Amino acid sequence: MSNRASKRPQGNRRNNAPGGLNAVTAQIQQLEITNRRPKLTAEQRKEKEEQRKKSAAERKAKLESWSAAEKHLARYKPGSSATSGDIRSNFFKISFLPKGGRFGKKLNPDIADLSQDLVLNENVIFGAKTGFFSSVRPGIGSLLLNVSVTTSAFYPAGVSVQKWIERRYNKNKIPPGGKLEELRGLKVDLLGDHGRSYRIEAVGPFNEYQEFTGQSVANLDPNAACVNIGSVSDPLWRPADKLRFADWQMVTGKLDSEFTAEMVTVASNNPNANLQKIIKCALNPLGIGVSEGGENFLRDQKKAQFKDARAYPMLKAVVVSLGKKDLGNPNNERDKFLSNFAGSLYDYGLATESYWFQSAT
């Protein structure tokens, strides 16, 4: 008994000592009191509620002002600030475009004027479609939207895979080894299986009856190829005449020489034609006006001028880099470059003032 009694005071002394249990408990209670949110008065609660309503109204007004991307990045005026929220919201608006294909920063609107067939032996093999590549570039006091015209080849949507193979490689002729590898990864639709697309894993040779990993596949068309639309480990073989190319399947490999000349012809346009395509098929769907004021450099007029603040520093930098030697000699490199530069601006429908070149020298 005496031993137990002697230990009790010792335990109490340990708890009451600095850093003991009681001291730690007191510190925790003090922290809870310190961090406890003070009660607001009626006036403070009213003021806080007004601030909340004001912030909500500002957010609502800002969202309503972003109609059809009118305040896109290319429209910011010098001196104004573009926050990351503005950038994200404007790019969010771009996603609500007319039907078409989107590939990263590239957009291909579903417009008949922007498509042309690539044929072989009077059969349509690919479709050359004009699209637009967009990127954001920092400008002087503003952010600029850069839009360029691109041309890509696509597989014909809705066409039977078997028909395409026959047209591409001649009917009843087995394509050279490895040629059908170009179809791997393409999306296809299976007849009778609505609402779902498959990807081609492999294409087998033409045969009436084949075996793949123990699976026997009998085709109704003895000339149809067998296509695996499953996986390597879990194959799902279907006849190619029951498969159709899905929409917007881009040709990712190199085109054969038979289509090179046609592709170059489709892609070759003068600068003014490309400009009109950008205005009609890229900017207008976004709601970006081309005849309004602001910092959009496109205009209804046939000719438009660069502002001095934008063009002169560029020309000055060109002159400095090329040097001033051989002035007056029409064959010197500097004058050649400036002359070609002015001609290029004119081709794009942009006129330049001669004094820019004179003062830059």
Q: What is the pLDDT of residues 204-246, one digit of tens each?
A: 765 544 454 555 555 456 677 889 999 989 989 888 999 999 9
Provide the residue ranges of all domains of the chain, joining segments of one domain with +. 2-35, 161-246, 271-360
**Count of positions (residues) in the chain:** 361
The band of 105, judged by pLDDT with boundaries at 50, 70 and 90, is confident
Q: How many other C-beta atoms lie within 10 A of the C-beta of residue 279?
A: 17
Phi and psi at 173, nearest 5°, equal: -110, 125
Of 15 and 151, the structure prediction assigns the larger pLDDT to 151
Whether the predicted pLDDT of 109 surpasses 90: no
Q: Among 152, 154, 172, which Cα is nearest to 162's?
A: 172
Selection from 198, 226, 196, 197 nearest residue 213 by Cα: 226
For residue 127, name the pLDDT band (cuts at 50, 70, 90). Answer: very high
Cβ atoms of 301 and 84 within 8 Å: the answer is: no
CA angle 238, 129, 88 (to 5 degrees): 95
Digit-coded pLDDT (tens) for 149-176: 889 999 999 999 999 998 888 765 656 6
Residue 311 pLDDT greater than 90, yes or no: no
Tell me the C-alpha to C-alpha distance, in Å, between residue 269 and each of 145, 211, 252, 342: 21, 50, 23, 19
108 close to 128: Cβ distance less than 8 angstroms: no
3-state secondary structure of 121: coil
pLDDT class of 288 with cuts at 50, 70, 90: low
Kindly tell me if the per-residue pLDDT of 114 is higher than 50.
Answer: yes
| CATH architecture for the domain at 161-246 | Beta Complex (2.170)
Which residues in 108-144 are b (16+ Cβ under 10 Å) and which e?
A: bbebeebebebebeeeebbbbbbbbebebeebeebbb
User: Residue 292: which of 117, 10, 69, 70 has the closest Cα?
Assistant: 70
Q: If pLDDT is split at 50, 70 and 90, which confidence band does 312 have?
A: very low
Distance of CA 263 to the CA centre of its chain: 23
What is the pLDDT averaged over residues 177-196? 84
Tokens 């390597």 locate to 232
Higher pLDDT, 11 or 112: 112
User: When comparing pLDDT for 216 and 74, which is higher?
Assistant: 216
Q: How many CA atoms lie within 13 A of 163 on its CB side?
A: 14
